[in-house]
Amino acid sequence: MTQEAGPLGARLLSGLRVVECSMLGPGAVSTPLADLGADVIKVEPPSGDYIRSMSWPLVRGSSLLHLHISRGKRSIVLDLRTDAGRETFLALVAEADVVVEAMRPGGLDRRGLGYERLREVNPRIVMFTISGYGMTGPYRDLPSHGIAYDAWAGTVAPVPGPEGMPSIPDHTSIGITAGPLFGTAAILAAVLRARETGEGCHLEVAQSDAAAAFDWLRSEGHRAYERPADEVTGNPSDGYERRPPGTAGMAEGVRYQFYESSDGHVLFMASERKFWENFCTAVDRKDLFEAHPGEKLADHARGNRELRRELAAIFRTRTTAEWIELGLAHDVPIGPVNTPATIAADPQFTARMPWQSADRLVADQLPFPVRVVGEDPPAASRPAPAPGEHGEQILHDVLGYDTGRIAHLRAEGAFGP
């Protein structure tokens, strides 16, 4: 493994200790905590978390999934099927603020380490369970992987594939990202309450629920339209027409739409009249504004094919970078259109999202996106661990165990066969 680095950026959660039992992607719930300086101890079975071999690409033999999700964490191997392993786990819990159960619900309970047992050794412990479909409901025990939650939530749909058979499209994975982010916020809220009252709690989130909540605008829009048409309407700029919820109602937009530039694409977003007038002035086409002034707010000139053809011809006359310069100079909302492969070259990206280097984390990785003003972005201080890499260090630093006691635990099978 690469050498650990000193603290980088804000260490806002220094002093917070998290004990994590995770398999695969749900362990992402504690990654932001580690980025922000928390001591995250990843407890692994003797066989290790097989996240290291899942997905692609593999970097120096470990999956990028593991390198990203497990960055900044320390690893200890404990066999929770043994008395010695369970006792050591409970000793760690006694010194922790949070226990993360990132697997199918009840995994720790089946090992005699459920919430009620944990709070016996630490009444202020916050237990957080993150799973695919949650602790209740008919899908509770259904095995699943990340795309399942997006498909369940309606955020990704099949597309035609080989021989016309349905295929999975390229898409943003929402559930496996939103679940951990919602969870992180709840964990910190619960820790604050526990420190004030001395009482912990058991939180849980389903990655499927999180995917649905993340896409609230569409589902709530459909729900709203179930109410009477005289009660729930569209926008005045469209004559109150009830167009499809969310971005589906943007398909026929003109003043808010994608356009080809001379070397790519831009997104034009002049849905307010003042921005539309600024644009027409900047390109010396006040005639367009006079002919199509539109409404003051939320007017996309939807369905105006004549205007769209005019704008298409205008946008093809400059490069994407030139359009961004025009937007900055004349207060016009125009944005570049990137792909995951091209975004790293974008000047806004290079100014805001400095890569965490492979020299430190094995693979180049994006930083935590929230920062303290005037400081470097928070960053993981160590790469993702090998199974049990920090076991003796954790037992010595956290529990004060000496070499003899660690040797006794080893003999008792605490660390596996």
Task: Look up residue 377 and give its two tokens.
Answer: 């972005």
Residues 145/136, Cβ–Cβ less than 8 Å? no
Q: Is the dihedral of CA 130, 133, 136, 141 positive or negative?
A: negative
Beta strand extents in 162-303 (DSSP E only): 166-167, 201-206, 256-260, 265-269
Neighbour-count burial for 297-333, b at 16+ CB within 10 Å, e otherwise: eebbbbebeebbebbeebbeebebeebbebbeeeebb
Strand pairing category for 17-22 and 39-44: parallel
Which residues are annotated as catalytic?
170
Kindly state the tokens that stand for 20: 């994590």
Beta strand 126-131 with 201-206 is parallel
User: Residue 21 forms beta bridges with which residues?
Assistant: 101
Cα–Cα distance measured from residue 417 to residue 415, given in angstroms and rounded to the nearest whole number: 7
| CA dist., res. 90 & res. 46, Å (int) | 17
User: 17-36 burial, b if ≥16 CB within 10 A, otherwise e?
Assistant: bbbbbbbbbbbbbbbbbbbb
Quick one: DSSP state of residue 365? B
- Which H or E run contains 348? helix 347-352
Q: Which DSSP letter does residue 137 get? A: S
Which phi and psi angles does 55 have, rounded to 5°? 65, -165
Matching residue, tokens 């000496």: 402
Burial state string for 110-147 with b = 16 or more CB within 10 A and e = fewer than 16: eeebbbeebbeebebbbbbbbbbbbeeeeeeeeebebb
CA–CA distance, 139 with 263 (Å, rounded to integer): 48
Which residues, including other chains, have CB under 8 Å from residue 228's CB and lie 6 or more apart?
A: none
- Strands annotated E in 85-237: 98-102, 126-131, 159-160, 166-167, 201-206
